Amino acid sequence: MRIIGFLLISNFLFIFSNAQSVLIEAESFDDPGGWVVDPQFVEQMGSPYLMAHGMGTPVADAHTKFQLGESGEYHVWVRSKNWAPGNWEAPGRFQIAIDGRTLPETLGVTPGWSWEYAGKIKLASGDTELALIDLTGFNGRCDAIFLSTDQNAPPRESPELATWRMKKSDEASSPEEVLDFDLVVVGGGIAGCASAIAAAEQGLSVALIHDRPVLGGNASSEIRVHTLGIYGHFERILRMLDTEHYPNGSPEAYKDEIKRHKNVEKYENIHLYTNWRAYDANTEGNRISSVDARHTSEGKRIRFIAPRFVDSTGDGWIGFWAGADFMYGRESVDTYGEAYEEWGELWSPEESDDFVMGSSVLWRTVKNDAPVEFPEVPWAKEVAQNHEATEGTWKWELSRLDLHQIDDAEEIRDHMLKAIYGSFANAKDKPEGENLAFEWISYLVGKRESRRLEGDYIFTFNDVTDQRKFPDSVVMETREVDVHYQQNLKDESKPDFLSEAIFYKTPKYYIPYRSLYSKNIENLFMAGRNFSCSHIGLGGPRVMRTTGQMGAAVGIAAVICEKYGIDPREVYTDHLEEYMELIESQKHYNTIAPKK
């Protein structure tokens, strides 16, 4: 191909066969200003994007520079969406400016992700500056900007759009860099961090891949859920990672996050890849050969090769891409005999369905010394209706049969944002609320349940009630089984974004190692809420100290696998006694390096 022009953005080189078209990925801006990079919904909408998360106050402009190959009149298209369409002005409106000139069209006004026309502009070749100008502070979003001397809009729908983007950026079919490790852990929540530490302490070279800048998942400063559960065999490891029992949403999460990062980063053989999002698992037969990941803002890619992998993504993405058997939704009451007669359908339905525990978005307010203005939010009050609130607790949770917790996660998050803004606006309408202002709102969904990867054993409610102790019991818990339902299913007057919990008190129960590796993908472990269990089985052990136990258990299993050159299942079938001794030894830690 004859190259007649190029575009340089930060550390990227985008090459084009036609120098009169330029594609700029918004997440790669040199200076995002007050905009944040949101990579949560890549699998659904195709890319990370910039979002103006200003809680009702317009955020600082985002800026970037690029080299334009040729002078000319350029048509400018911006991929965005109106996230709250209706008979009102779109809440996420913004504009684009090029070389200090603001283009005429307002963006963020079209329902659904699409290319909106920003206008046309005459540009000279050479250095060019681009800016995003937030108009509202209410979560405007920009995925990409396309400049072209041709007025035709880029493709709107996947997979045509994905193919077009790859062609425009001249992206190779496989990652540019390839790295080898003893163990690759995907997901830097408590479970993933525990897995990495447990394996690294025994001498393995571990890659820990996480799509956010901070570790901890739901316990991070970005989501702020405190950790619950007991420590089991792994108190020393989990105390490096867990939180104090502060109220959910508290800024105290920052303190524990600093502790967490220091404790993970002190291990020389943990290679930490924050802001890297896995996007594929490559397989050979029933084995994963490698996992591919992309930097969430720079766009660079790495292929991670290892003999074994840990899926701690929560949503079970590594298993899903590899073809692992998985479960989603509630089993019928007769599938495993998990009835709780007092609660009937709210606990376990007569027929299986796709209802699962939902996702939360936490938030906090502060009371100032003087009144604080807040804009009108008719698009939010449609959801909040008459509900008033000044903070979000764990009960702020959304699950509906028509919304899939993975496929519709962006809609779920946006619905919760509407509920927050509307409920807060209702509270401010009262005299006692005039001094209130937002202190913090998470823009990340805190999920409780989605895919559950199937292992050799499916942990169920019966294992709790029977207090079954397995020969391979590696996780233990005393926390009650805790299953959620939406309040409006019992009381139609309640808003649809509030949940309630059903508790089943129980003594200690145990989870077997066989629930922590895949049934059909030979070299895949799983640790976290995507472990092998029924819907009701997840109710107790889904909390983070318990999932952290799972992570530590599979990290140690990976040590046995490395020592003998075996797969996860063979740890149970051929080396269980040695494995359980190593698990028990964690109470009295002593490094036992694997034999290479």
> DSSP readout, 368-388?
-SS-------HHHHHHHTT--
| CA distance linking residue 195 with residue 213, whole number of Å | 19
| CA distance linking residue 259 with residue 339, whole number of Å | 42
Q: How many residues does the chain have?
A: 596
Q: How confident is the model at residue 9 (pLDDT cuts 50, 70, 90)?
A: very low
- Whether residue 595 is predicted with pLDDT greater than 90 in this model: the reply is no
Residue type (1 letter), 483: V
* pLDDT value at residue 171: 87
Q: Residues 550-578: pLDDT tens digits?
A: 999 999 999 999 999 999 999 999 999 99
- Whether residue 10 is predicted with pLDDT greater than 70 in this model: the reply is no
Q: Which residue shows structure tokens 């594609």?
A: 23
* pLDDT value at residue 587: 80
pLDDT, average across residues 334-349: 96
CA distances from 84 to 111, 294, 362, 434 (A): 8, 30, 20, 25
HSE (side-chain half, CA atoms, 13 Å) at 160: 5
Helix (H, G, I), strand (E, B) or coil at 75: strand
Residue type (1 letter), 190: I
Residue type (1 letter), 306: A
94-98, 161-165, 561-565: range with lowest mean pLDDT: 161-165
pLDDT, average across residues 176-185: 97
Q: Residues 453-464: pLDDT tens digits?
A: 999 999 999 999
* pLDDT value at residue 3: 26
Helix (H, G, I), strand (E, B) or coil at 71: coil
CA-based nearest residue to 587, from 235, 241, 197: 235
b (16+ CB within 10 A) / e for 276-303: bbbbbbbbeeebbbbbbbbbbbbbebbb
| CA distance linking residue 269 with residue 180, whole number of Å | 12
CA distances from 385 to 422, 425, 469, 526 (A): 7, 10, 49, 41
| CA distance linking residue 265 with residue 262, whole number of Å | 5
* pLDDT value at residue 329: 98
* pLDDT value at residue 13: 33
pTM here is 0.95
* pLDDT value at residue 6: 35
CA-based nearest residue to 250, from 230, 227, 223, 229: 223
Q: Residues 16-59: pLDDT tens digits?
A: 334 489 999 999 999 999 999 999 999 999 999 999 999 999 99
Helix (H, G, I), strand (E, B) or coil at 59: coil
The pairing of strands 524-526 and 309-311 is parallel
Q: Which residue shows structure tokens 């490698």?
A: 290
Percent of the chain residues topping a pLDDT of 90: 93
- Whether residue 15 is predicted with pLDDT greater than 70 in this model: the reply is no
Q: How confident is the model at residue 590 (pLDDT cuts 50, 70, 90)?
A: low
3-7, 130-134, 266-270, 460-464: range with lowest mean pLDDT: 3-7
| CA distance linking residue 366 with residue 302, whole number of Å | 43
CA distances from 88 to 100, 137, 237, 376, 413 (A): 29, 16, 52, 10, 20
State both tokens at 205. Answer: 């070279």
Q: What would you report as the CA-atom Rg of the chain, rounded to the nearest whole angstrom?
A: 25
Q: Residues 253-274: pLDDT tens digits?
A: 999 999 999 999 999 999 999 9
How many CB atoms sit inside 10 A of residue 433's CB?
19
CA angle 535, 540, 542 (to 5 degrees): 75
Percent of the chain residues topping a pLDDT of 70: 95
